[in-house]
Structure 1
């Protein structure tokens, strides 16, 4: 059985390491912030301590065996409900994948501290913080150069098709991700939704201008610009 001071130390270390990851999420105003990450880390640490040392008296019985890894396995699979909540909290848009992943890894940190593996837990925390904070600027830079945009076009009926858009904008067919047409009442005009992938911020204005020059096009509106954040980004 561990000494009370050692148990307290493990719980405090787990809380401290969890708070470091949580602070990075809190800084970006995500739903799962400091308290959530601290609770997950401390909770998983306590699970590990209980699993490894909470049944010492039972082991005194004959033919009794203990597998401390069983609690760790349950935490690994069970923590997913918090990750799902972090994602679904955004409604219909899929966001929060990074936060869900950070919750999952914080649980692993707590298990490591609970098992007395202080160095791996601390090293993992440093690596996770480096990933969350250090890689983000590179990710944002890539997204700025390789984002997608959604355009709403109003044009005379039958005047616009995917081939004409590709030829006018000189884009590859793979970049034209969506081309949806709905006919307005009366049949004279089409409402067209176009989604283009892998375009830079500077190209969006050029694309809008070129589409406006096509015969029959009456209006072109940029509805949204997405640098991949709907798949979670931060």
Structure 2
């Protein structure tokens, strides 16, 4: 049977690990923040303790057979209702999947600590925090480069060609997805739309600045991301 001191220590450690993950979510002002992650981790740890040691007094009786993993197994599936509550549909964009996954992860951490697997619990905590805080900037940069960005130009008629654009963009010329020329509202002018793929906002802004220096370009406007 697990001693009272060891039992309390496991619950406190689970709460501490849950707080580390919860703080990262709290920093981003998500509904499931510090307290939620701590409660999930402590609750999962307690479930594991109950599952592993809570029925030891009846195991010695005749014809009594229990599966010590049964209660813990229900945590894996039962945590889903709490994770579903953090997922929101805003327009056509789903938000909260990462927070739902972090709740699921801290439940696993709680189970590990409750089962006495301290090294696994600590390692999982470090990995989860690293994924939440460290990978996000890399993910944002990658997504930023995948956007299709456009420039809207007003130019003098016949003065902006593909060759001119290639000179301005240089090595980024291969990122041009569309080059559309239409008659302008004023006589002697044309409206040009240039779409770029896999270019950051900073790179597109630099190209726009070079185009503004061209005397044949009347106006340059940054279009919306696609």
TM-score interval, normalised by the smaller of the two chains: 0.5 to 0.7
User: Relative to structure 1, is the Cα distance of residues 91 and 77 closer, same or farther in structure 2, using a 3 angstrom cutoff?
Assistant: farther
**Matched length:** 175
Aligned equivalent of 1:180: none
Partner of 2:119: 119
Q: Which residue of 2 aligns with 1:132?
A: 132
SS of match in other structure, 1:94: strand
RMSD value, Cα: 3.0
C-alpha contact 2:149 2:204 (8 A) present in aligned 1: no
The answer for unaligned runs of 5 or more in structure 2 is: 151-174, 179-195, 209-220
**In structure 1, distance between residues paired with 2:136 and 2:204:** 23
Confirm or deny: 8 A CA contact 1:149 1:204 kept in the other structure: no
List gaps (5 residues or longer) in structure 1.
151-168, 173-195, 208-219, 227-234
| Equivalent runs, 1:184-203 vs 2, <5 Å | 200-201=200-201, 202-203=203-204
- Residue 96 of structure 2 corresponds to 96
Residue deviations 1:140-189 (CA, integer Å, cap 9, x gap): 11122112579xxxxxxxxxxxxxxxxxx9538xxxxxxxxxxxxxxxxx
Residue 60 of structure 1 deviates from its aligned partner by 1.9
TM-score with structure 2 setting the length: 0.67
| Structure 1 consecutive aligned stretches of length 4 or more whose deviation exceeds 6 Å | 204-207
Whose relative contact order is higher, 1 or 2, with alpha carbons under 8 Å and at least 6 apart? 1
Q: Distance in 1 between matches of 2:148 and 2:96?
A: 19
TM-score, length of structure 1 as denominator length:
0.65
Q: Residue 91 and residue 26 in structure 1: after superposition, are their counterparts in 2 closer, same or farther (change >3 A)?
A: farther
